[in-house]
Amino acid sequence: MRNLTILSTVALLWLACALGCSANNTRKTNLPHGNNVEYKHGSKILTQRFYDRDEIHYYQSELVARPELSVNGKTIKGHSFDIGSEADGKISARPPKTVTFTLMHDIASKSSWHFPAPGHQPDIHTRNSTAHVAFIADGQRYEIQKGFQIELTKDDPHDKTFYETFISEIPMGVFMKIANAKQVQLQMDAASFTLDAETLAALHDYGVIISDTE
């Protein structure tokens, strides 16, 4: 799996944290300086506290979905999505106001379905994605604002797969609606897929942690 620090060229980045392996059971590891890692439902949740700066940061990584895509009414298999989230705020004023949501898509061939081409290369000022993205959570539709996008690429020419990345900010209230829903579908233009139970449980775990005000 690629290191998500490639996203450092984009504002509102999701920072990947290489802190061990994930597990399906729940584990918690206390780290020095107010940090801790929890492993829940196949994902890793890192909480970092910086008391001297009154800052708190939450990261969720290692959450992978391999759904069946529906594209213009046709079912397509063989796609993989890495889902990551980051939320930053103040220890004295929790919870955070927004969640930065990252969707990294892996495909074997450029001829396979992929995100709509971005308008231009990402920069820190302009959201370049042309995709229309929405979550349908328990029947309620939540449109996601235009985001940043890194178009199809490979880290190494010998890699077997291409990948692309979509990043956008989601208001905390909307994210919690998604995290607490029993059924969630993600739509991107003519494509859509349903989040499986394990992915929903992992998002719920993350929502519980970032919404804690104590």
DSSP labels, 154-188: -SSTT-S-EEEEEEEEEEHHHHHHHHT-SSEEEEE
Residue 93 DSSP one-character state? G
pLDDT of residue 87: 97
191/186 Cα distance (integer angstroms): 8
Q: Domain residue spans in the chain?
A: 4-210
Residue 132 DSSP one-character state? -
Token representation of residue 70? 């529906």
Which residues 6+ apart lie within 8 Å of 113 measured at CB? 69, 71, 76, 79, 107, 191
Average pLDDT over residues 98-119: 92
Decide: 129 and 120 in contact? Cβ < 8 Å.
Answer: no
pLDDT tens digits, 154-192: 988 889 889 999 999 999 999 999 999 999 999 999 999
**pLDDT above 70: residue 3:** no
pTM for the complete prediction?
Answer: 0.82
* Helix, coil or strand: residue 149: strand
R_g (Cα) of the chain, nearest Å: 17
Which residues 6+ apart lie within 8 Å of 154 measured at CB? 161, 162, 163
88/74 Cα distance (integer angstroms): 39
Quickly state the pLDDT bin for 214 (edges 50, 70, 90). Answer: low
